[in-house]
């Protein structure tokens, strides 16, 4: 394959997770015995620009369908995170009723509604009809489209451009990275700002977060590599913040190269994090090889723990029918003979089955009815929020466990 950014030939795989189903492709009961389609899930690292990527096996319009099942507003944490961001960025950029904000992959409008409430004009661009319809019903202007260079040009022709473009955990989902970043430049006003939140590759590797890898995520970014991508499109990263989300994320602030905002910025925060990355060896190909070794160790520890519990006739269930959970379960070979069911609070998911493992998804209330001995938290990045929800399970001494970044019982 060739690097999707710099076109360098890549021959050696960094980490092979085998053939897996699409992580969010939940199975309807009527299709439970049908042959399930799987695709290679192999991670590669470009030896020239060090962009970590998977070979595109599944077109994004097959992943982000009308029935997409991830709704951001169901997480109290994400609602609070979005509200704080909107308050902070409004003050930071002095946004007002004359400003215009675009969010790409706006989901169900969980973030943009904060701008609507204070009278700031905005537009969400969201390809999945299920989530976009929810946003529209809540009064958030939303365009049901994939964002790309063609759409950016259409918006520009209609005199639509933004003082602020928001991308929260979306850049990894874009198969054509150069087209997409080039499109951002087209709809950004002369002194506008782009903010991008993304899981930091350095933290992913340091903390064994291999479950972040699935077909929906085409790319995994270090700050240095992302800076190079933006530079190619004459965009400059002028500030960066470190976040706790997704086990360690970055939020970058970018603008047009050479404008007054770019020239007046010191960029010390950017230089500091890039220096840390380089000190860890992120610009050497050997740095990335540890990911597979660490994943195998984690897999063995998880299986050892779960099998030991099963031998003692302990009942085991999971919390959260999350995409990352499916990567973990399928890489470890964990099926319904180990985990009886998974509970979830998303109505769209209830009554369906996890891809490949075929573990049934049941309502959250089943925990009180069944009183399982062990509860595995699959979306460990929401651990604190979930532990609070599971406080009532102490009444029967349930053991709660996470496996990433390492096995830990609560």
Q: What are phi and psi of 217, to 5 degrees?
A: -105, 100
Residues 6+ apart with CB under 8 A from 393: 367, 371, 375, 400
pLDDT of residue 407: 97
Looking at the chain, the number of H-run helices and the number of E-run strands are 14, 17
> What's the Cα-to-Cα distance from 362 to each of 74, 158, 341, rounded to whole Å?
16, 46, 7
* Locus of tokens 């003082």: 163
pLDDT reading at 292 higher than 80 = yes
**Quick one: fold of 72-288?**
Rossmann fold (3.40.50)
Q: What is the mean pLDDT of the chain?
A: 95
- For the ranges 65-74, 270-279, 314-323, 350-359, the lowest mean pLDDT is seen at 65-74
Element (H, E) at 360: none
When comparing pLDDT for 70 and 199, which is higher? 199
Q: What share of the chain in percent tops pLDDT 70?
A: 96
How far is Cα of residue 111 from the mean position of the Cα atoms in its chain?
15
pLDDT reading at 219 higher than 80 = yes
Q: Rounded to an integer, what distance in angstroms lies between the CA atom of residue 247 and that of residue 73? A: 20
Ranges of each domain in the chain = 72-288, 292-409
pLDDT of residue 245: 85
CB atoms within 10 A of CB 92: 14
Q: Any idea what DSSP says for residue 315?
A: -
In terms of Cα–Cα distance, which of 402, 405, 347, 352 is closest to 375?
Answer: 402
The tokens for 154 are: 């259409």
> Any bridge partners for residue 251, and if so which?
197, 241
Q: Summarize pLDDT for 52-75 with one digit per residue, the tens.
A: 999 877 776 666 655 555 666 667
One fold for 72-288 and 292-409: yes
pLDDT of residue 390: 98
The tokens for 44 are: 């590669």
pLDDT reading at 122 higher than 70 = yes
Q: Summarize pLDDT for 373-388 with one digit per residue, the tens.
A: 999 999 999 999 999 9
**Quick one: fold of 292-409?**
Rossmann fold (3.40.50)
pLDDT of residue 348: 86
Torsion of CA 209, 253, 230, 58, to 10 degrees: 40
Q: Rounded to an integer, what distance in angstroms lies between the CA atom of residue 236 and that of residue 52? A: 21
Provide mean pLDDT across the span 319-336. 97
Long-range contacts of 152-161 (CB under 8 A, 24+ apart): 152/182, 152/183, 152/184, 152/186, 152/187, 153/186, 155/186, 155/187, 156/186, 156/187, 160/100, 160/102, 160/123, 160/187, 161/100, 161/187, 161/188, 161/189, 161/192
pLDDT reading at 301 higher than 90 = yes
pLDDT of residue 130: 87
Q: Summarize pLDDT for 251-281 with one digit per residue, the tens.
A: 999 999 999 999 999 899 999 999 999 999 9
Tell me if 26 sits within 8 A of 64, measured CB to CB. Answer: no
């Amino acid at each position: 394959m060739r690097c999707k950014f710099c076109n360098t030939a890549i021959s050696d795989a960094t980490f092979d997770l085998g053939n897996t189903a699409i992580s969010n492709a939940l199975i309807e009961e009527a299709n439970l015995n049908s042959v399930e389609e799987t695709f290679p899930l192999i991670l590669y690292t470009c030896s020239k620009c060090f962009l970590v990527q998977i070979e595109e096996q599944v077109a994004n319009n097959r992943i982000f369908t009308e029935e997409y099942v991830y709704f951001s507003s169901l997480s109290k944490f994400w609602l609070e995170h979005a509200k704080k961001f909107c308050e902070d960025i409004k003050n930071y950029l002095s946004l007002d009723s004359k400003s215009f904000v675009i969010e790409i992959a706006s989901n169900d409008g969980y973030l943009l509604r904060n701008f609507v409430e204070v009278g700031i004009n905005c537009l969400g661009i969201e390809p999945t009809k299920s989530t976009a319809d929810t946003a529209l019903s809540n009064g958030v202007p939303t365009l049901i489209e994939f964002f790309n260079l063609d759409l950016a040009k259409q918006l520009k022709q209609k005199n639509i451009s933004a003082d602020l473009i928001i991308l929260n955990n979306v850049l990894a989902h874009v198969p054509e990275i150069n087209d997409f970043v080039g499109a951002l430049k087209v709809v950004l006003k002369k002194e506008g700002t782009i903010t991008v939140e993304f899981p930091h590759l350095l933290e992913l590797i340091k903390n064994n977060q291999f479950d972040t890898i699935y077909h929906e995520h085409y790319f995994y970014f270090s700050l240095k590599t992302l800076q190079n991508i933006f530079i190619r499109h004459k965009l400059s990263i002028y500030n960066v913040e470190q976040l706790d989300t997704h086990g360690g994320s970055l939020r970058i602030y970018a603008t047009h190269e050479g404008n007054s905002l770019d020239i007046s910025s010191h960029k010390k925060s950017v230089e500091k994090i890039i220096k840390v990355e380089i000190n860890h060896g992120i610009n050497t190909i050997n740095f990335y090889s540890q990911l597979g070794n660490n994943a195998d160790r984690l897999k063995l520890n998880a299986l050892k723990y779960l099998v030991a519990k099963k031998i003692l006739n302990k009942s085991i269930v999971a919390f959260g029918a999350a995409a990352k959970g499916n990567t973990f379960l399928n890489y470890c070979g964990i099926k319904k003979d180990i985990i009886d069911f998974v509970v979830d609070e998303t109505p769209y998911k209830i009554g369906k089955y996890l891809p490949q493992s075929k573990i049934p998804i049941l309502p959250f209330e089943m925990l009180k009815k069944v009183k399982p001995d062990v509860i595995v938290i699959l979306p460990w990045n929401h651990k604190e929020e979930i532990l609070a929800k599971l406080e009532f399970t102490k009444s029967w001494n349930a053991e709660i466990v996470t496996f990433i970044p390492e096995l830990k019982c609560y």
